[in-house]
């Protein structure tokens, strides 16, 4: 099944835009009421569908990781008031879309593989959602909004009741200016008892939500936050050295991990590469350098593609990291834009890094 799913998806992945457009057209035809679950502008949603499919296909023969991811996704989808028939409609639309684009390659064996795979996906998400007893979303008023560069803002919110999340994870966010346009953001701090959560947001070109957050968020705005998701986490009993690679505001979940680790007595060595196009993009570098002084287990290397920083490397993050070796003795955490994650992982694998040692999350961009 895994091989058939992978090879058949690879045959249509290059037609991502047409595939996602056809899928949503089919979904809204099969189940018209699902249209109300999505924002008016569907561009980002179509991209997110592809990233989800890619991620699932990559993990189709890694059931433990896939179950964790799908269970989180199922709990998160409760905020949309998703019903059982909506899952059925998605399955019908997905099979119809793959059949149309695969054409002659859509064999009975391929169909059986995808029907089986979607059955697992649907059941895992439904079961997780039905067992969840916590809120579908949390109310979180904005208590601070601060620009740290023309396109990056630090926003602090305080939830009305504790939102359980792990350092390194992410949550879905809806802001009042963009209803139904949920976006995934990673807290930049470990959980605190006072309910305060800090986000670092970059105004992505063409990003409806990110630009609104950076330039139009005001004190007192009430956000809605979904349940926590994510696979980036560190346990205090782990002893393997860590390599962390963060691009731009993608460093936020890594900052949360470091915030948590700074509270522990003993830590493994951590080497963090923090990159951006220009020195001004490294908005969190001063904070990281202060942290490195107080935490002797932490080494920070800034990386810029243009311009230079004292003690820093020049080039892309992928190049800067891999030119120092394969880091085979370390667990690797990668966070940033999807293109940065793809390029970095590709370079690491080419350098000899074990894929099983590399962790990343797929939904981090507007």
CATH number for the domain including 261? 3.40.50.80
Helices 108-131 and 2-12, interaxial angle, to 10°?
100
Higher confidence at residue 266 or residue 243? 243
329 lies in which domain range? 242-360
The structure tokens listed for 362 are: 């797929």
Rg (CA), the chain: 21
Query: Could you report the per-residue pLDDT of 4-18, keeping only the tens digit for each?
Result: 988 998 898 888 888
Domain end residue (candidates: 91, 114, 131): 131
Q: Are residues 167 and 121 in the same domain?
A: no
Same domain? 214 vs 261: no
Q: Are residues 62 and 148 in the same domain?
A: no
CB atoms within 10 A of CB 123: 13
Q: Which residue among 72, 97, 131 closes a domain?
A: 131
pLDDT at site 334 = 95
Residue 365 lies in a domain: no
* Nearest in space to 288 (alpha carbons), one of 277, 266, 305, 303: 303
Q: Please indicate, yes or no, whether residues 205 and 102 belong to a single structural domain of this protein.
A: no
Answer yes or no: is pLDDT of 238 > 80: no
**pLDDT per position as a tens digit, 198-212:** 999 999 888 889 999
Would residue 237 count as lying in a domain?
A: no
User: Residue 365's pLDDT band (boundaries 50, 70, 90)?
Assistant: very low
Q: What is the CATH number of the domain that holds 114?
A: 1.10.490.10
pLDDT digits (tens, 9 = 90+) for 17-58: 888 889 989 999 999 988 887 777 666 666 666 667 777 877
Return all residues near 277 (Cβ < 8 A) that are at least 6 apart. Answer: 304, 305, 306
Number of independent structural domains in the chain: 3
Is residue 95 domain-shared with residue 144, that is, in the same domain?
no
202 and 266 both lie in a single domain: no
For residue 236, tell me if it sits in a domain: no
Assign 308 a pLDDT band (cuts: 50, 70, 90): confident
Q: Which residues pair with 332 in a beta bridge?
A: 243, 358
2, 108: one domain = yes
Please tell me whether residues 204 and 280 are part of one structural domain.
no
234 belongs to a structural domain: no
Looking at the domain assignment, is residue 235 inside a domain?
no
Place of tokens 């920083």: 309
Cα separations in angstroms, 32 against 36, 90, 95, 118, 150: 8, 12, 18, 21, 41
Boundary (domain end) residue, out of 76, 106, 131: 131
Q: 């311009």: which residue's tokens?
A: 307
Question: Tokens 């350092």 — which residue?
Answer: 167
Taking the C-alpha atoms of residue 73 and residue 322, their distance in angstroms, rounded to an integer, is 32
The confidence score (pLDDT) of residue 269 equals: 95
pLDDT of residue 143: 98
| 100 & 142 share domain | no
- Tokens 């991990």 appear where? 257
- Residue 47 confidence (pLDDT): 66
Residues of the chain with pLDDT > 90, as a percent, come to 59
Please indicate, yes or no, whether residues 341 and 272 belong to a single structural domain of this protein.
yes
pLDDT the model gives residue 235: 84
pLDDT (0 to 100) of residue 45: 65
State pLDDT tens for residues 98-152: 999 999 999 999 999 999 989 999 999 999 989 988 888 999 999 999 999 999 9
Same domain, 259 and 339: yes
Tell me the two tokens of residue 57.
């296909």
Whether residues 81 and 159 share a domain: the answer is no
Residue with tokens 């782990």, as numbered in its chain: 238
Average pLDDT of the residues of the chain? 90
Q: Looking at the domain assignment, is residue 84 inside a domain?
A: yes
Burial class (CB in 10 A: 0-12, 13-18, 19+), 54: middle
- The candidate with the shortest Cα–Cα distance to 231, out of 97, 24, 58, is 58
pLDDT at residue 185 greater than cutoff 80 = yes
pLDDT at 80: 82
Helix axes 2-12, 43-58, angle to 10 degrees: 150
Please check whether residue 58 lies inside any domain of the structure: yes
**Residues of the chain with pLDDT > 70: what percent?**
95
């Amino acid at each position: 099944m895994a091989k058939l799913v992978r090879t058949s998806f690879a045959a249509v992945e290059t037609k991502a835009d047409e595939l996602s457009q056809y899928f949503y057209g089919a979904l809204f035809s099969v189940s018209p009421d699902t249209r109300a679950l999505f924002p008016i502008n569907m561009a980002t949603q179509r991209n997110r569908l592809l990233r989800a499919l890619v991620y699932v296909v990559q993990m189709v023969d890694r059931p433990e990781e896939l179950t964790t991811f799908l269970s989180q996704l199922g709990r998160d989808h409760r905020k949309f008031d998703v019903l059982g028939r909506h899952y059925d409609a998605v399955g019908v639309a997905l099979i119809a879309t793959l059949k149309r684009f695969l054409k002659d390659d859509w064999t009975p064996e391929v169909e059986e593989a995808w029907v089986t795979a979607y059955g697992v996906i649907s059941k895992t998400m439904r079961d997780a959602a039905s067992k969840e007893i916590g809120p579908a979303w949390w109310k979180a008023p904005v208590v601070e909004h601060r620009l740290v560069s023309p396109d990056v803002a630090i926003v602090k919110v305080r939830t009305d009741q504790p939102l359980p999340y792990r350092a390194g994870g992410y949550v879905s966010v809806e802001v009042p200016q963009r209803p139904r346009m949920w976006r995934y953001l990673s807290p930049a701090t470990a959980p605190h008892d006072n309910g305060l959560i800090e986000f670092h947001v970059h105004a992505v070109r063409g990003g409806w939500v990110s630009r609104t957050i950076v330039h139009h968020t005001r004190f007192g705005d009430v956000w809605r936050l979904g349940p926590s998701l994510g696979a980036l986490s560190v346990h205090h009993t782990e002893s393997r050295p860590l390599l962390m690679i963060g691009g731009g505001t993608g460093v936020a979940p890594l900052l949360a991990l470091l915030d948590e680790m700074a509270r522990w007595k003993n830590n493994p060595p951590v080497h963090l590469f923090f990159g951006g196009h220009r020195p001004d993009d490294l908005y969190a570098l001063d904070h990281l350098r202060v942290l490195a002084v107080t935490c002797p287990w932490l080494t920070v290397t800034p990386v810029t593609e243009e311009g230079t920083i004292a003690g820093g490397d020049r080039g892309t993050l992928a190049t800067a990291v891999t030119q120092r070796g394969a880091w085979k003795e370390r667990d690797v955490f990668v966070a940033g834009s999807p293109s940065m994650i793809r390029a970095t992982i590709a370079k690491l694998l080419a350098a000899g890094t074990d894929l099983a040692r590399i962790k990343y999350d797929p939904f981090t961009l507007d």
